[in-house]
Amino acid sequence: MGETSERTIQSLIDIIDRLRGPDGCMWDRQQTVRTVSRYLIDEAYEVIDAIEAGTADDVREELGDLLFQILFIINISRDNGRFDLVDVIEGISEKMIRRHPHVFGDTTVSSVEEIKTNWETIKCQCEGKEHSKGSLLSGIPTSLPSLTLAQKITEKASRVGFDWKGVDDVVDKVYEELDELKTAITDDRPEQISEEIGDILFSLVNLSRFVDVDPETALRSTVNKFKRRFSFIESKLADRGKDLRSSTLEEMDDLWNHYKKKENPGS
C-alpha cells in the first residue's frame, strides 16, 4: 500500500475518531459493535445491488460506505482494548498466505476443486474451524440468508461424498417434493405445507449448485425483473388515468406480457 493510500485511510480513521470523540456526534459515541453490525449487513447488500445494476461510481460509493462501517467497528474494538486495524490486516494476511500454499508455498494443484479441498483441509486441521465445534457444518454462519446458507451447507456435505450422483437425480427430487407439497395442500395440513415448501427450496438450491448457478443471485435477478415489469404496469396505467385498484387483472396481464416481449423480443 502506497503512502498516499495510507494517508487516505488514516484520514478516514481520523474522521471516525472525531465522530466518536468527546466533541463529536452523540449518536456515534453511543454505538457498539452489536448495534453497528446490522448496518454492516445493509451496506454489504447495497454493494451487491450496485455491482449488479449500478455504475462504477455506484460501486465505488457503496464500497466506501461498507469500508466506513468496517473501520467504525475496528475503532470501537480498539477503544475497548480488543484489537486495531493492524491486528485485522496482519490476521487476514497470515490467513490468506496459509490457505494458498500453491501460491506462497510448494504445494502443486491441478484444478479449482483441488484448491477448494486444500482450503477446507487447512481450515479444519490448521485452524480448527469445524472440528473444535464438533461438526463439519458448524463453521457456517447461521445468520446468512437462507438460500446462501443452504448452498454452503450442501457444498460442505458434498465435499465428503454426501451428495446426489447427478443433476437428473436432483431434478427428480424436486418433482418428488412438489408431489408431497400437493398432497399436503390437498389434506389441508399447514405445518406439512410449510415443511414441504422448505424441502422444495432446499432441493432447488441443490439443483442450482449442480448447474453452477448461485441461487441468491438468481432469485434476486428474478425479483428485480418482477419489479421492472410491475413498475411498467403502474406507469402505463397512470398514462391511461387509472391505477392498480381500478384496473382489471386482464389489463395488468396484457401490460405485463407486452413488457415481457419488449425485454425478450425473440421469445
pLDDT > 70? residue 98: yes
Q: Among 208, 46, 216, which residue's Cα sits nearest to residue 148?
A: 216
Tell me what pLDDT residue 127 has: 64
Tell me what pLDDT residue 174 has: 97
The 10s digit of each residue's pLDDT in 229-260 is 999 999 999 999 999 999 999 999 999 999 99
What cell does 181 get? 407439497
Mean pLDDT, range 48-57, rounded to an integer: 86
Tell me what pLDDT residue 34 has: 92
Contact 220, 165 (CB under 8 A): no
Mean pLDDT, the chain, rounded, equals 90
Tell me what pLDDT residue 234 has: 95
The 10s digit of each residue's pLDDT in 219-230 is 988 998 999 999
At 1, the pLDDT band (50, 70, 90 cuts) reads: low
Mean pLDDT, range 116-127, rounded to an integer: 78
Expressed in angstroms, the distance from the first to the final Cα of the chain is 50
pLDDT > 70? residue 130: no
Burial of 63 (0-12, 13-18, 19+ CB in 10 A): middle
pLDDT > 80? residue 43: yes
